[in-house]
């Protein structure tokens, strides 16, 4: 089985721009979660999508949004980029079965640098 | 969010055992996980334990869970230089498919 893939792997943007990151989950996985990882804040949960619906949400401003397609692929978008958005963005996929043992499998991440 | 705490750094000599500790706050955790992150890479699942278990062993890895104290540990036997990485503990609550990650412990193995 192919693992979780994320594109692009690296991205450089300037303040005020917007960016879209893509994540393809493991085949058969219906849940995709997004995380932001920075040296200062660690790994912070952004949101989780399941069956094209946002099921869980972390404490990030509305500039961070996402969506999921019918094939479970997910995108996240960050508008009006700020310097502090520079981070490694990780996505993780799982079957999405709540209240049962779940394992999240992570992609390699997209490293975003905002100048 | 939930608080999952880990010490930031650990340094051990090659061949010794490493013990990485984690404390969590939510007693409704159902599963607890250990992930490894090597430089420039995503997170790799190492092992997990169900909350009604006390211990789980998987080759060089031993996970101990003290549910009363909400304390989780990962012991790596015969630590090798390839074990140098950041280790994250994570909990999954029974309220849904949401994971909370610890701050990560950077393990350095000295040859």
Is any Cβ of chain B less than 8 angstroms from the Cβ of A106? Answer: yes
Task: Count how many pairs of residues, chain A against chain B, have C-beta atoms within 8 Å.
Answer: 66
The most confident of B8-17, B48-57, B98-107, by mean pLDDT: B8-17
Q: What is the pLDDT of residue B94?
A: 66
Q: What is the pLDDT of residue B96?
A: 60
pLDDT exceeds cutoff 90 at B26: no
Give me the count of residues in chain A. 115
Chain A residues touching B104 at Cβ < 8 A: 42-43
Tell me how far CA of residue B89 lies from CA of A55, B24, B106, in angstroms: 23, 9, 12
A6 forms bridges with which residues in the sheet?
A: A23
pLDDT exceeds cutoff 60 at B19: yes
Q: What would the mean pLDDT of B93-97 be, rounded to a whole number? A: 65
Looking at chain B, the number of H-run helices and the number of E-run strands are 0, 11
**Three-class DSSP category at B77:** coil
Taking residue A47's Cβ as centre, other Cβ atoms within 10 Å add up to 22
Alpha helix segments (H runs only) across chain A:
none
Q: What would the mean pLDDT of B13-39 be, rounded to a whole number? A: 90
Tell me how far CA of residue B28 lies from CA of A4, A43, A83, B95, in angstroms: 29, 21, 37, 8
Contacts of A93 (CB under 8 A, 6+ apart): A4, A23, A25, A26, A29, A31, A32, A33, A72, A104, A105, A107
pLDDT exceeds cutoff 80 at B80: yes
Q: How far is B68 from chain A (nearest CA, A)?
A: 21
Rounded (10°) CA dihedral B53, B55, B58, B61: 130
CB B37 within 8 A of CB B19: no
A38-54 confidence digits (pLDDT tens)? 887 788 889 999 999 99
Q: Confidence band (pLDDT; 50, 70, 90) for A108? A: very high
Q: What is the pLDDT of residue B95?
A: 62
Q: Which residue does chain A place closest to B101, by CA atoms?
A: A43
Q: Which residue does chain A place closest to B100, by CA atoms?
A: A45
Q: Confidence band (pLDDT; 50, 70, 90) for B99? A: confident
Contacts of A100 (CB under 8 A, 6+ apart): none
A51-97 confidence digits (pLDDT tens)? 999 988 888 999 999 999 999 999 999 999 999 999 999 999 998 87
Q: How far is B36 from chain A (nearest CA, A)?
A: 11
Q: What would the mean pLDDT of B28-42 be, rounded to a whole number? A: 86
Q: Least CB-CB distance to A107: which of B31, B33, B42?
A: B42
């Amino acid at each position: 089985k192919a693992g979780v893939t994320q594109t692009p792997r690296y991205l450089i943007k300037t303040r005020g721009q917007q960016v879209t990151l893509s994540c393809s989950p493991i085949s058969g996985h219906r849940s995709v979660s997004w995380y932001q990882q920075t040296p200062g804040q660690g790994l912070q949960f952004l949101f989780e999508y399941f069956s094209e619906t946002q099921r869980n949400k972390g404490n990030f401003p509305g500039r961070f949004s996402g969506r999921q397609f019918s094939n479970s692929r997910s995108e996240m978008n960050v508008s009006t980029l700020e310097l502090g958005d520079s981070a490694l963005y990780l996505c993780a996929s799982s079957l999405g079965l709540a209240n049962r043992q779940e394992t999240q499998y992570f992609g390699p991440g997209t490293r975003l640098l905002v100048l | 969010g939930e608080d999952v705490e880990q010490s930031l750094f650990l340094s051990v000599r090659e061949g010794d055992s490493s013990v990485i500790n984690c404390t969590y706050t939510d007693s409704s955790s159902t599963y607890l996980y250990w992930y490894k992150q090597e430089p420039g890479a995503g997170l790799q699942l190492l092992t997990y334990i169900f909350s009604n278990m006390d211990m789980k062993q998987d080759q060089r890895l031993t996970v101990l869970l003290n549910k009363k104290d909400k304390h989780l540990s990962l012991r790596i036997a015969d630590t090798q230089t390839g074990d140098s990485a950041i280790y994250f503990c994570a909990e999954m609550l029974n309220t849904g498919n949401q994971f909370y990650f610890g701050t990560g412990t950077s393990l350095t193995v000295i040859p």
